[in-house]
Chain A
Amino acid sequence: MRNGPGRVRPPLGRVLLVAVPFAWLAAFFLFPFLIVLKLSLSETALAQPPFLPIVEWVEEAGDLYLAIRLRVQNYLTLLSDGLYLAAFTSSLRIAATATLLALLVAFPVALGMARCRAEIRPFLLLAVMLPFWTSFLIRVYAWMGILKDDGLFNALLLGLGLIAEPLVLLDTETAVLIGIVYSYLPFMILPIFANLEKHDPSLLEAAVDLGCRPWKAFWRITVPLARPGIWAGCFLVFIPAVGEFVVPDLLGGADTLMIGRTLWLEFFTNRDWPLASAVAILMLLVLVVPIVLFQRQQALERLR
């Protein structure tokens, strides 16, 4: 290749710096989605692996054909069977509710952290990070012992005489909501805190000096300025929560439909790999809008 005027060939080190992680992510993140797409259009079979190829050489009357069979039935099943649609809609509903609840819990905490003295803040930040470092699975499991019929929460309420009979909490949607809010809370607190910490206090002081009530100043100044942090937190909670498996499996009941669990069951229990792939593709289609919005929001943050 000829190097035109003003166009310098990038040094080898730089090319490698880009090429190595690029190739890894393309091979192990992007390319596998194409295989999922391919498999979602294939047929189940009692074989190892349990599906038929979609492209085959076929010999017919001495002629060789390249036969491509795309099975759209997997998608038709998903769209016509009410159970799958219900799983999709209830996943979106549960994830949206959990995101809102997490925001309501996280915002006051983040605000309180940001209002503490600068020397204390790193310790508070560490205290929020620490549960995030300990196992996700363990944190969900911890709630099983609390929410069981004969668990601690019911024992507490019974002991206080607030209820006469234990509440059924485990294996309900309430338990799933608690589990998601709890597990993803650090993801909501951290971006909001990072944003609030940077606010200039003189803005609020100016508003109050001009006669604005503190509550109104909060709504007119703090909340609008915190919007990027709020959005980042909501995306970080909502998108993975839609496809969550561990929480609905351990804390939800048989009637708590969530699409991540549906995919798992289709794959591991029913061994219907093509249908599980179709579920994955539909999940990606549903999530592509929030994912793109999240990326754009991250890009804007980097420009600041």
Chain B
Amino acid sequence: MRRGPGPFDLAALTLGFAFLYLPIVILVVFSFNASKLVTVWGGFSLRWYEAVLSNQQLLDSAWVSVRIAFVTATTALVLGTMAGLVLVRIQRFPGKALFTGMVFAPLVMPEVVTGLSLLLLFVSLDVPRGFWTVAIAHTTFATCYVAVVVQARLLTFDRSLEEAAMDLGAPPVRTFFLVTLPLIAPSLAGGWLLAFALSLDDLVIASFTTGPGATTLPMRIYSQARLGVTPEINAVCTILVALVTIVVLVISIVQKRRLVRERARPAR
């Protein structure tokens, strides 16, 4: 925008990022606290991590969450990519306004409403609730997030390569898989991860749509957190934060490298 950040901007950035990061940093630091008290530092210890790793209930629900997130992210990637293509590439069809509305409304819809409505759907269809109902529920809102990511990528997409492929006789579907898909692949990877993270994180919708035997990790964390802050939950949260941070950093470094490589190539 302008010449560069002034002192006011630097202060805003420092305070803003401190606000964003301090609570998480505090949580991480206190997960290594030997003392059970949250405000007293009793020395460095890994005892809470040992407690987490020997808590079978917690591990079971983590495994349930990861499986649901995997199914969700994969299904939502397919559906969301299709929806994103429809939003950008198909100008007119009956119900386009409704379609657009259904893609964007779930992004802001309060979770309690989505959760309740899906539960009532499953009840009225008499579907046994559990793993698959949660996966379907998560897929529905994750699809919308993937669609938005894919749509944003397609809006800045250079179509001349597709046109070249078509001119050379490739049918549309072949063009899509050979040209379009490889070019938007980084966004698709980002969309898959976003869907995975959203599913792994969701408490409200899962609580409504779950059934016996499908208790997810956030549901376990929530029921313990309601009773108060414990170092054990701090440790679980730290593990999750660490995993997410590593994955996001790796992805962004890979994408950055790719971008640099593409820029280094001679101009097309």
Please give the residue numbers on chain A whose beta carbons come within 8 Å of chain B beta carbons, in ascending order: 10-11, 13-14, 17-18, 20-22, 24-26, 28-33, 35-36, 39, 49, 105-106, 108-109, 111-117, 122, 124, 126-131, 133-139, 141-146, 148, 150-152, 155, 182, 185-186, 189, 196-197, 199, 201, 204, 235-236, 239-240, 242-246, 249-250, 260, 263-264, 267-268, 273, 276-277, 280, 283-284, 287, 291, 294-295, 298-299, 302
**Which of B12, B27, B116 is close to A267, meaning CB atoms less than 8 Å apart?**
B116
Inter-chain contact A283/B113, CB cutoff 8 Å = yes
Apart from A35-B117, A112-B12, A135-B240, 16 more pairs, CB < 8 Å = A22-B99, A24-B139, A29-B102, A49-B123, A108-B9, A138-B221, A139-B24, A142-B23, A199-B1, A240-B108, A240-B111, A243-B109, A250-B226, A267-B208, A291-B105, A298-B104
CA distance A115 to B13 in the complex (A): 11
Inter-chain contact A112/B10, CB cutoff 8 Å = yes
CA distance A17 to B87 in the complex (A): 11
What residues of B have a CB within 8 angstroms of the CB of A133 in the complex? 194, 197, 244-245, 248
What residues of B have a CB within 8 angstroms of the CB of A29 in the complex? 102, 105-106, 114, 140
Inter-chain contact B248/A129, CB cutoff 8 Å = yes
Could you list some 13 contacts between A and B, CB below 8 A? A20-B82, A22-B99, A28-B136, A29-B102, A32-B118, A105-B19, A115-B2, A115-B6, A122-B256, A130-B248, A204-B1, A246-B204, A268-B207
Interface membership of B71, Cβ < 8 A:
no
Inter-chain contact A13/B172, CB cutoff 8 Å = yes
Inter-chain contact A295/B24, CB cutoff 8 Å = no
What residues of A have a CB within 8 angstroms of the CB of B19 in the complex? 105, 182, 185
Which A residue's beta carbon lies closest to that of B5? A115
What residues of A have a CB within 8 angstroms of the CB of B256 in the complex? 122
CA distance A28 to B105 in the complex (A): 13
What residues of A have a CB within 8 angstroms of the CB of B102 in the complex? 22, 25-26, 29-30
By Cβ-Cβ distance, the 7 closest A-B pairs, closest first, are: A243-B110, A109-B16, A108-B12, A32-B117, A112-B9, A239-B108, A142-B23
Inter-chain contact A18/B86, CB cutoff 8 Å = yes
Which B residue's beta carbon lies closest to that of A35? B120
Interface membership of B30, Cβ < 8 A:
yes
Inter-chain contact B108/A291, CB cutoff 8 Å = yes
What residues of B have a CB within 8 angstroms of the CB of A243 in the complex? 109-113
Inter-chain contact B111/A24, CB cutoff 8 Å = no
What residues of A have a CB within 8 angstroms of the CB of B4 in the complex? 115-117
Which A residue's beta carbon lies closest to that of B108? A239
Interface centre among B27, B95, B173, B197 (most CB of A within 10 A): B27
Inter-chain contact A280/B26, CB cutoff 8 Å = no
Q: How far is the CB of B238 from chain A (nearest CB, A)?
A: 9
CA distance A13 to B116 in the complex (A): 34
Interface membership of B166, Cβ < 8 A:
no
What residues of A have a CB within 8 angstroms of the CB of B244 in the complex? 130, 133-135
What residues of B have a CB within 8 angstroms of the CB of A49 in the complex? 123
Interface membership of B222, Cβ < 8 A:
yes
Interface membership of B203, Cβ < 8 A:
yes
Inter-chain contact A280/B116, CB cutoff 8 Å = yes
Inter-chain contact A134/B24, CB cutoff 8 Å = yes
Interface membership of B237, Cβ < 8 A:
yes
What residues of B have a CB within 8 angstroms of the CB of A142 in the complex? 23-24, 26-27, 237
**Which of A117, A236, A276 is close to B116, meaning CB atoms less than 8 Å apart?**
A276
CA distance A25 to B10 in the complex (A): 44
What residues of B have a CB within 8 angstroms of the CB of A22 in the complex? 86, 95, 99, 102
What residues of B have a CB within 8 angstroms of the CB of A33 in the complex? 117
What residues of A have a CB within 8 angstroms of the CB of B38 in the complex? 145, 148, 150-152
Which B residue's beta carbon lies closest to that of A49? B123
CA distance A108 to B201 in the complex (A): 29
Q: How far is the CB of B87 from chain A (nearest CB, A)?
A: 8
Inter-chain contact A250/B106, CB cutoff 8 Å = no
CA distance A264 to B203 in the complex (A): 12
**Which of B13, B86, B237 is close to A113, meaning CB atoms less than 8 Å apart?**
B13
Inter-chain contact B27/A115, CB cutoff 8 Å = no
Q: How far is the CB of A86 from chain B (nearest CB, A)?
A: 18
Interface membership of B62, Cβ < 8 A:
no
Q: How far is the CB of B15 from chain A (nearest CB, A)?
A: 8
Q: How far is the CB of B225 from chain A (nearest CB, A)?
A: 5
Inter-chain contact B143/A21, CB cutoff 8 Å = yes
CA distance A117 to B23 in the complex (A): 28
CA distance A287 to B112 in the complex (A): 13
CA distance A11 to B171 in the complex (A): 12
CA distance A155 to B140 in the complex (A): 44
**Which of A141, A146, A151, A294 is close to B108, meaning CB atoms less than 8 Å apart?**
A294
What residues of B have a CB within 8 angstroms of the CB of A129 in the complex? 248
Interface centre among B3, B6, B110 (most CB of A within 10 A): B110
Which A residue's beta carbon lies closest to that of B14? A112
What residues of B have a CB within 8 angstroms of the CB of A130 in the complex? 244-245, 248
